[in-house]
A and B are shown apart, each in its own frame.
Chain A
């Protein structure tokens, strides 16, 4: 008998009914639902023993000790190390991204060489050979963004042995303060003993958001013994938090300091300066209350009150610095130092202190010597024809974070061989011939010796907390390897040995200092200080045309080294960035004067460039000032940073400071036109 159509259909029906009495439909439905929850892109938890490893944050010069929480071998989060003097358990938004940055898409995954405009992967052996061949007998310069690590010492020592003095740090207040201090014949590195002060007057420096050892500053503020007063143009994180905010025009903090000096001198205060008489007469005649009021926007009565409050305090401290951490001149620093000298707080508890230096690479200059040199001046020299064959860039991004980066790019194009040791694919790395990625700082040995701004000598070292994820190599180790190839002896076979020697030079050892930072209370006595009066003239110069620009640095938007992190994208506020436009901030008065409307699109025109922004009207900025954030407008990195807003560095204008020869850009002015 055959199976007819009817029979076949009943067979299928029987099969279907039968299937309902089996696990097939139910199990399949269940499994498919589970399958649909297991897409490969869904992150999986890491299981293993939880542990904590001490480390050190190298995302800014703040030098915070970290406590990296691990599950098994994998770090999962970074918190402040409770036992570290600069973090005391705290961490800033940037530092809290430390672990996530291990996996940032912009990480460079191995050594790369540019070939006809495209990068190709090469081996580390090949990289070392190319570098050695290009350095031999050539004129080499180096730029470092690590102002307190021994990696810079290795690089500077190496350059010196190659016969070059062209080692530079990225600009910061650390350099300017050193330059001013040296002009005053001071010794050592300046610092502020905020912890023991009972009246801290902060002129400009946004110490609770972005300036210096931010977390330590916050801790000192949290346990303050008296008042913290802030003078600056914008209600920054510091201004909004401290006991009092006094609006002052951008870059006029030095003038305010001299205004205070005027009243202190009138009260009969003196400072042990060789040329004290000259200085006193100069200030009393030139920085009269009316001049100071016109320049700073602070009334004479307020300045006088500041002077009186400082005198009343038993341990006052005046901290001066650029609003955005760079671009200030010797003028501001010398003026700030002078107030402290008149108050008699130098090397006193709670005052301005001079800290010792340290180095272990014999050929390397002292940090105070390296800090005298300006990369911007070097760029001028190159532009004017100075022959330089090669540039080594370590942890620095000058093509983004120097004033007028387009011009910087043009000048650097004159240098035929450029190497970037960046961990991330930043603007500078993209313009180099070789990218030889340094490991992320959690993957390498690194250190920080007395970060600028602290009040005591501190040495911290971190051992790696994770094996390198990509094919990276510690830059100082690579330099030692190349030095070896070139027959140049820096006296150490590995970077770990350098750190060991540094720890020993401080009377400790690598293991102890990795577990707990070394600290000392050594302050350097000063014998004969002076203050060249020419430096004080800067504050009297007439301002140019345009509106004052107050750049604002905020760690959560990234900094000069690190672009906006994936972690922090969500905390960018709607009045900081919307779609592709970033915002400038002006108050209602200024908006009316400049005919600006909320959300209106404008162009900021500086001396060397322009950028596009939208307007936010807010009373957190003083009259006649435009505040704008640094950190936007990246053209490299990854989707988290690229193409968001514009780069404010483009509109900063650089001037040469008389008396010190320094380049300054904290008094930039811009024109605002509707876009």
Chain B
């Protein structure tokens, strides 16, 4: 009988611990695919070497909307032709500027269309409160794409928005974010 009992506990424990290992260790690795940006954009070159400020490229438009990542046309104001030695720049000029195409940048915080996020309403926060600190990176961080939902791993969930709103006394009414 005692022997029989130990036979039950051990497989249970093995199953339990195994599930924990798979669930916490393996599952996240399986769930996300790792992607690199189409162009290895170096913020460092632009900020440190060229002394550019963030808002030279990441601007608010006249109507208060946020321009996000600059368009190819805006990049081409400087990069109409290859300026440096970096092969990534050459690739950008050749494949996007010359072809008049937009770069399909991977947006780490991309929100669905039904979320109306206003950057200008959040401008008192530091960018890195929500975004990865890419300002000094030479190679953009790896982008983790959820294989099921297609969203970035870092896309903020609604509960995170709501928590911050609650902590800061901002309204959590539906229409604040969903128009």
Chain A: interface residue total (CB-CB under 8 A): 36
* Nearest CB of B to A1, in Å: 8
CB neighbors of A among B21-79 (8 A): 22-24, 27-28, 31, 61, 63, 65, 67-68, 71
Please indicate the chain A residues that have their CB under 8 angstroms from the CB of B71 in the complex. Answer: 48, 72
Partner of A21, one of B10, B20, B67: B20
* Nearest CB of B to A275, in Å: 65
Partner of B20, one of A22, A34, A47, A48: A22
Establish whether residues A10 and B63, one from each chain, have CB atoms under 8 Å apart when the complex forms: no
**Range, interface on chain B:** 20 to 34
Looking at B82-90, B123-131, B146-154, B165-173, the stretch in contact with chain A turns out to be: B146-154
A 180-192 binary contact with B (CB < 8 Å = 1; else 0): 0000000000000
Looking at A23-31, A366-374, A591-599, the stretch in contact with chain B turns out to be: A23-31
CA–CA, A50 to B62, complex, Å?
Answer: 10
What residue of chain A has the Cβ atom nearest to residue B14's Cβ? A11
Please indicate the chain B residues that have their CB under 8 angstroms from the CB of A7 in the complex. Answer: 7-8, 10-11
Establish whether residues B112 and A15, one from each chain, have CB atoms under 8 Å apart when the complex forms: no
Establish whether residues B15 and A10, one from each chain, have CB atoms under 8 Å apart when the complex forms: yes
Partner of B18, one of A4, A18, A30, A34: A18
CA–CA, A287 to B146, complex, Å?
Answer: 83
Looking at A37-45, A446-454, A654-662, the stretch in contact with chain B turns out to be: A37-45
Establish whether residues B19 and A18, one from each chain, have CB atoms under 8 Å apart when the complex forms: yes
B2 interface residue (CB < 8 Å to A): no
B174 interface residue (CB < 8 Å to A): no
What residue of chain A has the Cβ atom nearest to residue B157's Cβ? A30
Establish whether residues B11 and A8, one from each chain, have CB atoms under 8 Å apart when the complex forms: yes
Establish whether residues A28 and B7, one from each chain, have CB atoms under 8 Å apart when the complex forms: no
Establish whether residues B23 and A21, one from each chain, have CB atoms under 8 Å apart when the complex forms: yes
A-B CB pair tally, cutoff 8 Å: 100
B 133-175 binary contact with A (CB < 8 Å = 1; else 0): 0000000000000101111000000000000000000000000
Establish whether residues B63 and A50, one from each chain, have CB atoms under 8 Å apart when the complex forms: yes
* Nearest CB of A to B120, in Å: 15
What residue of chain A has the Cβ atom nearest to residue B151's Cβ? A34
Please indicate the chain B residues that have their CB under 8 angstroms from the CB of A387 in the complex. Answer: none
Please indicate the chain A residues that have their CB under 8 angstroms from the CB of B112 in the complex. Answer: 34, 37
What residue of chain B has the Cβ atom nearest to residue A48's Cβ? B71
Please indicate the chain B residues that have their CB under 8 angstroms from the CB of A27 in the complex. Answer: 27, 31
Please indicate the chain A residues that have their CB under 8 angstroms from the CB of B17 in the complex. Answer: 14, 18
A123 interface residue (CB < 8 Å to B): no
Establish whether residues B19 and A38, one from each chain, have CB atoms under 8 Å apart when the complex forms: no
Report whether over half of chain A's contact residues are helix, strand or loop; otherwise say mixed.
helix
A12 interface residue (CB < 8 Å to B): yes
A571 interface residue (CB < 8 Å to B): no
B99 interface residue (CB < 8 Å to A): no
B13 interface residue (CB < 8 Å to A): yes
Tell me whether A23 and B148 are in contact in the complex, defined as CB-CB below 8 angstroms, given that A7-B8, A10-B12, A11-B15 are known contacts: no
Establish whether residues A31 and B24, one from each chain, have CB atoms under 8 Å apart when the complex forms: no
CA–CA, A212 to B167, complex, Å?
Answer: 61
Please indicate the chain B residues that have their CB under 8 angstroms from the CB of A48 in the complex. Answer: 71
What residue of chain A has the Cβ atom nearest to residue B8's Cβ? A10
* Nearest CB of B to A15, in Å: 4
Tell me whether A14 and B113 are in contact in the complex, defined as CB-CB below 8 angstroms, given that A8-B11, A32-B148, A72-B71 are known contacts: no
Establish whether residues A31 and B146, one from each chain, have CB atoms under 8 Å apart when the complex forms: yes
CA–CA, A649 to B127, complex, Å?
Answer: 64
Partner of A19, one of B4, B9, B23, B67: B23
Partner of B13, one of A1, A14, A38, A44: A14
CA–CA, A14 to B31, complex, Å?
Answer: 23
* Nearest CB of A to B77, in Å: 15
Establish whether residues B11 and A34, one from each chain, have CB atoms under 8 Å apart when the complex forms: no
Please indicate the chain A residues that have their CB under 8 angstroms from the CB of B7 in the complex. Answer: 1, 4, 6-7, 10
What residue of chain A has the Cβ atom nearest to residue B12's Cβ? A14
A49 interface residue (CB < 8 Å to B): yes
Partner of A22, one of B15, B27, B113, B148: B27
CA–CA, A508 to B36, complex, Å?
Answer: 53
Establish whether residues B24 and A12, one from each chain, have CB atoms under 8 Å apart when the complex forms: no
Establish whether residues A34 and B149, one from each chain, have CB atoms under 8 Å apart when the complex forms: yes
CA–CA, A363 to B171, complex, Å?
Answer: 71
For the complex of A and B, list the 5 residue pairs with the smallest distance between their C-beta atoms, beginning with the closest. A22-B23, A14-B15, A18-B19, A15-B15, A14-B12
Besides the known contacts A4-B7, A31-B146, 11 further A-B residue pairs in the complex with CB atoms under 8 A apart: A6-B8, A11-B12, A14-B12, A15-B15, A15-B18, A17-B16, A18-B19, A22-B24, A23-B28, A34-B151, A44-B113
- List 14 A–B pairs whose Cβ atoms lie within 8 Å, in order of A's numbering: A3-B11, A7-B10, A10-B9, A10-B12, A11-B11, A11-B12, A15-B15, A17-B12, A19-B23, A23-B27, A24-B23, A34-B149, A34-B151, A50-B63
